[in-house]
Structure 1
């Protein structure tokens, strides 16, 4: 099966997802997070850097669970308009809306 190129919206969503996961992971190591979620550290690295813009749902569900993020909150954050004021600066605590 041939995979179609990603749309700009899919690429942007993947970048937002990666940023959200990096922020939620905080000081926790990538290795510890990946192993706890049952994914390879390389997979987590690719998702966090936006190289895998459309990861499998079970992969995201497992990572979100380890990080204490609800899937509803993940979807809301990555689907919001780019400049709605909801973004969190790196180093700041994640909003309560991300909690499960």
Structure 2
């Protein structure tokens, strides 16, 4: 699916898809977004599902372990903020 699939899934969250609608996100793209948050995920699908579930619980989403539109939209936002903070910290140092 790649980054366009992630963006499409995130946009679906903005236009009203429920977590049960639309495509799921690409596992490699999800792992990259979680890496932006400083998380390293094991290689197994169950490892990714556990991290998704923990993230959902942490941000107030239904912790079902599925990266639907709302989950992806929220993850993209948090990952972007984490990247921006690192840039700010480097410039301030």
TM-score relative to the length of structure 2: 0.33
Output the TM-score relative to the length of structure 1. 0.32
Higher helix share: 2
